[in-house]
Structure 1
Amino acid sequence: MRPFWLEQALLADRSETCPPLQGDVRTDVCIVGGGYTGLWTAIMLKQQNPELDVRLIEADICGAGASGRNGGCALSWSAKYFTLERLFGVAEAVRLVQESERSIHAIGAFCEHYGVDAEYRLDGTLYTATNRAQVGSTDAVIAALERNGINSFSQRPLADVQRMAGSQKHLEGWFSPAAASVQPGKLVRGLRRVALQLGVKIHEQTAMTGLEEGRPARIQTPNGNVIADRVVLAMNAWMARAFPQFARSVAIVSSDMLITEPRPDLLQQIGLTSGVTVLDSRIFVHYYHNTADGRIMLGKGGNTFAYGGRLSPVFDQPSPYAGLLKRSLDDFFPAFSEVKVDATWNGPSDRSVTGLPFFGQMSRSGNVFYGFGYSGSGVGPCHMGGQILASLVQGLDNPWTRSPLVNGPLGYFPPEPIRYLGSLLVRNAIRRKERAEDHGRRPRHLDVRLAKFAAAAGKADKG
């Protein structure tokens, strides 16, 4: 069974699976991975250079990975401003925040232009506090955005926050109109349709089994080879497993979600009537929004960690944290306590040390490019990733190819088993810290110190 979003999208998209690769083919550009990053790159390449022959191979079907199972929160990089400034300086941090907001709007314009029904709703986002310890935690970054003339957030009166968010649990809130919610499965299947219309050749059920670098490069698959002048690796969490040099560049961690049955009557009753995305101020945040058909989707990040980057079967199953998710749902929305949960699921998030994706080229021949590490917040930024990779592939000189984002990983996790054991240590410290704060208690000093290892890269796993 597919995750809820993708299953729903496939019911609406009756197109045939693209045939797997058979035999050897020659192409200008081969893209490995049929999620947001790969499809945006393919589309932008064909839009900018229609004569390019572009092929995309996908091990399963397009959208089977994180792109078809995320939380559907299309957010900017505003909340990551301090990380951006620390790593790249003020000018580039400002540019990237602005570009991340432009991408939100560009996704909506794309859906409108190509008739993609992704349930895109540009209804903004609320960053909130749900306990006293979280109150004021957003003030500093908002002040920095304001100083640099890029602030889209305004603090709303508490009554407005609770009404917009549909919950009395929120104690403060900052609203930005520069965010959207989408049905992620429908978005990725729409991207697939447009890519095919533009002339991208897609081979599903075609896993990459090997890569021979050179000019041209050779991508090996079970039943044939793609000989390509340029290659784009858009495999996200699977990159760490496929290429040992990236094994320590990301930690694989789940984000877990549930979705209720449709109850538009209750949504009307509690006031959650727009597509606003709502996030609290935890390190591994709660995030939620309603859906066009009257459901609530709620998720929480930072649960299951993968050892050594191995994607175990649990990442393809209903969430093992269903009980925790249901308790959170009831806590936010007591009116939904008796409402049926239609599905739970989870998926692997490729969390980088900085909480930001990174890009680059990895072959001596200079023709193999990659991008991953979206850290559970890729719906909007994958559009930027497509611009970066399309620019790199074409050898352009522009702000994307000059950005320090294209310099590869900006940090590494410790080797195993230290990484895995350390991840669990920090995760459990965060849980204890936030549990104490929820109950109005002062957390242990050690837990606060350990939590800072995760907090340094900002909020994570927002879908």
Structure 2
Amino acid sequence: MRPFWLDEALKAQPSEPSASLQNETRADVCIVGGGYTGLWTAIMLKERNPELDVVIIEADICGAGASGRNGGCALSWSAKYFTLERLFGREEAVRLVRASEQSLYAIGDFCRKYGVDAEYRLDGTLYTATNRAQQGSTDSVIAALERNGINSFVRCPLPELQRRAGSTRHIEGWFSPAAASVQPGKLVRGLRRVALELGVRLYEGTPMTGLEEGRPAVVTTAFGRVVADRVVLAINAWMARAFPQFERTVAIVSSDMVITEPRPDLLQRIGLTSGVTVLDSRIFVHYYRNTPDGRIMLGKGGNTFAFGGRILPVFDQPSPYQPLLRSTLEEFFPDFAEVGIAASWNGPSDRSVTGLPFFGRLGRSDNVFYGFGYSGSGVGPCHMGGQILSSLVLGLDNAWTRSPLVQGPLGYFPPEPIRYLGSLMVRNAIRRKERAEDHGRRPRRIDVHLAKFAAAAGKADKG
């Protein structure tokens, strides 16, 4: 069973999977992983150097991972400004916020250039409060963005906020035009098509079984191997299991989604008629948007945590949190109370300690590169990841290869079972804290204290 977005994309644009690798092949660059990061990297390499021989191997089909099942909210790093400044300093933080916005526009330019129908809509985003405890939570970061000349947010008067968001649950909000929404499955399948048209060689149904570092490096598969001068590892949440040295760099956590049957008449009634993305101010946020055919997609992160970085079977099944999501959907949109749920799904998100992705070179080799840790917000930043990894592969000296983002992991979680038990403890404290706040009660001090462990890395799981 494919997640809703990927299933819809495959039906709209049928294509046979590429053949699996059955022998040895030689390449200039081998990319492991056919999601956003791997495909953007491949396309950028071929655009810069059409003669470069680039091979992608993908364990399933392109888009089967997070790229085909995320919420489709393409957001900038504006809300992460304080984390960026703390880690990298003001100058780099400002550059990265600007670059993250430029990537959002670049995705739209790409879709127009190559005729990719990804339902790209540059209609902005709303960051809101849905209870009194959340009010004012965005003020400080907006002020910092303003001081540094990179603020795109304006405060919305309450009537305008509720009209744009389509719900009276929102009691405060800021709007930025620098955000977009996409149909994730159609975007990743469009990237696949363009990569093939540019001459990238693709082998689907070809999981990596091993990597021999060296010059050249060798990527082994079940029935073949790729001998390559340079290798890019773009497998995101799967890195934690494939390479033990990264097991503590991310926590694998689900983001769960539901999508309604189409009711464009009800969207007209409630006023949710643009492609605006809407996020509240929880630690594990609620996020939602509509679709061009009149549906509402609503999701929430921070639900299922995996022990030891394992990719659990539940990640490929309908969301076990569908009843909770259905209830939340009805709270936001009472008019949709009788509208059926067309599908629910979830997927593994590679949550880093900082909430930011990180990139680098594997071990002592200087020809094997990696990037992951998008923390549930990868739709826009994966385009930045493609710029970083393609620049590293080509040996360029630019702002990306000089960025501290390429210095590898920026923190580690505790070892198991402390990480797993601690994650559940913090998650449950957040749930109790936010349930109390939703009902106008003061949360317990211990829950507030525990919630700070997650809040320190910023909001997660909305892309």
TM-score by length of 2: 1.00
Match of 1:161 in 2: 161
- How far is the alpha carbon of 1:13 from its aligned partner? 1.5
Give the alignment of 1:254-273 within 5 angstroms. 254-273=254-273
Aligned residue number for residue 147 of structure 1: 147
| Matched letter for residue 184 of structure 1 | P
Q: Quote the offset at 1:12 in angstroms.
A: 1.1
Alignment of 1:281-292 (within 5 A): 281-292=281-292
Deviation at 1:381, TM superposition (A): 0.2
Give the letter for the 1:140 counterpart.
S
1:238-276 deviations in whole A, cap 9, x for unaligned? 000000000000000000000000000000000000000
Question: What secondary structure sits across from 1:174 in the alignment?
Answer: strand
Give 2:441's aligned amino acid.
R
Tell me the amino acid that sits aligned with residue 56 of structure 1. I
Q: Distance in 2 between matches of 1:355 and 1:187?
A: 24
The letter of the residue matching 2:45 is: L
Aligned to 2:89: 89
Tell whether 2:52 aligns with 1:32: no
CA distance in 2, matches of 1:398, 1:151: 25
Q: Distance in 1 between matches of 2:445 and 2:375?
A: 27
Deviations 1:38-82 (A, max 9, x none): 000000000011110000000000000000000000000000000
Letter in 1 for 2:80: K
CA distance in 1, matches of 2:115, 2:45: 20
| Aligned-partner Cα distance in 2 for 1:310–1:181 | 30
Query: Could you tell me which amino acid in structure 2 is paired with residue 436 of structure 1?
Result: A
The 5 A counterparts of 1:296-335 are 296-335=296-335
CA distance in 2, matches of 1:313, 1:208: 19
SS in 2 for 1:360: strand
Deviation at 1:456, TM superposition (A): 0.4
Deviation, structure 1 residue 181? 0.5
Aligned residue identity for 1:338: E
Q: Which residue of 2 aligns with 1:400?
A: 400
TM-superposed deviation, 1:192: 0.2
TM-superposed CA distance for 1:146, in Å, is: 0.1
The answer for the alignment partner of 1:444 in structure 2 is 444
**1:314 aligned partner, one-letter code:** V
CA shift for structure 1 position 311: 0.7
* Match of residue 355 from structure 2: 355
Give the match's secondary structure for 1:346: strand
Partner SS state of residue 209, structure 1: strand
Alignment match, 2:8: 8
**Counterparts of 1:365-380 in structure 2 under 5 Å?**
365-380=365-380
Equivalence for 2:460: 460
Which amino acid in structure 1 is aligned with residue 12 of structure 2?
Answer: A
CA drift of 1:312 comes to: 1.1
* Alpha-carbon distance between aligned partners in 1 of 2:22 and 2:305, rounded to the nearest angstrom: 36
Structure 1 residue 149 displacement after superposition: 0.1
Q: Distance in 2 between matches of 1:324 and 1:272?
A: 22
Name the SS for the 1:241 alignment partner.
helix
Aligned with 2:34: secondary structure?
coil
In 1, distance between residues paired with 2:428 and 2:364?
A: 42
Q: CA deviation at 1:367?
A: 0.4
Distance in 2 of aligned mates of 1:284 and 1:84: 19
How far 1:14 sits from its partner (Å)?
1.3
Measure, in 1, the Cα distance between the counterparts of 2:375 and 2:354. 9
Aligned residues: 463
Q: Which amino acid aligns with 2:60?
A: D
Aligned to 2:217: 217
Q: Aligned equivalents of 1:210 and 1:328: distance in 2? A: 43
SS of 1:398 mapped into structure 2? coil
Greater shift, 6-15 or 82-91, is seen at 6-15
Amino acid at match of 1:185: G
Q: Secondary structure at the match of 1:427?
A: helix
* Equivalent residue, structure 2, for 1:226: 226
How do residues 114-153 of structure 1 correspond to structure 2 at under 5 angstroms?
A: 114-153=114-153
Letter matched to residue 401 of structure 2: T
Q: List runs of 5+ in structure 1 lacking aligned partners.
A: none
Match for 1:331: what amino acid? E
Q: How well do the aligned residues superpose, as a CA RMSD in angstroms?
A: 0.4
Q: Distance in 2 between matches of 1:353 and 1:9?
A: 33
1-side partners of 2:126 and 2:336: how far apart?
Answer: 21
**1:365 Cα deviation after fit:** 2.8
Identity of aligned residues (%): 81
SS in 2 for 1:110: helix
Q: How many angstroms apart in 2 are the aligned matches of 1:159 and 1:173?
A: 11
Quote the Cα distance in structure 2 between the aligned partners of 1:253 and 1:163: 33
By how many angstroms is 1:364 displaced?
2.3
State the Cα deviation string for residues 317-370 of structure 1 (Å, max 9, x = none). 000000000000000000000000000000000000000000000142310000
CA distance, structure 2, for counterparts of residue 313 and residue 17 of structure 1: 23
Question: In 1, distance between residues paired with 2:239 and 2:5?
Answer: 24
The match for 2:47 is 47
Which secondary structure state, in structure 2, belongs to the residue aligned with residue 433 of structure 1?
helix
Q: Please list the CA deviations of residues 257-306 of structure 1 after superposition, one character each: whole Å capped at 9, or x if unmatched.
A: 00000000000000000000000000000000000110000000000000
Report the AA paired with residue 81 of structure 1.
Y
Q: Aligned with 2:375: secondary structure? A: coil
Would you say 1:428 and 2:428 are equivalent positions?
yes
Q: The residue matched to 2:379 in structure 1 has which SS?
A: coil
Report the Cα offset of residue 25 of structure 1. 0.3
Deviations 1:27-46 (A, max 9, x none): 00000000000000000000
> Amino acid of the residue matched to residue 269 of structure 2?
Q
SS of the residue 1:339 aligns to: coil
- In structure 1, give the amino acid aligned to 2:157: P
Partners of 1:105 and 1:309 in 2: CA distance: 33
